Amino acid sequence: MHTNLFGGVGEVRVVSLLHGVSAPFTAALSCELAPEGSVGAHVQQDDPELVIAVSGDGEARVNGAVHPLDASQAVYLPLGAAHFAVRPQPAA
Predicted confidence (pLDDT) per residue in 54-72, tens digit: 888 888 899 999 998 888 8
The set of residues, in sequence order, having a beta carbon less than 8 Å from that of 54 and lying 6+ positions away, is 71, 72
Q: Where does the pLDDT of residue 90 fall: very low under 50, low under 70, confident under 90, or very high at 90 and above?
A: low
Distance CA 58, CA 68 (A): 6
| Higher-scoring residue by pLDDT: 21, 86 | 86
Would the pLDDT of 92 be above 60?
no
- What is the predicted pLDDT for the residue at 65? 92
**Is the pLDDT at 91 greater than 70, yes or no?**
no
Residue 3 above 90 pLDDT? yes
Are residues 4 and 10 in contact, defined by beta-carbon separation less than 8 angstroms? Answer: yes
> What's the whole-model pTM score?
0.76
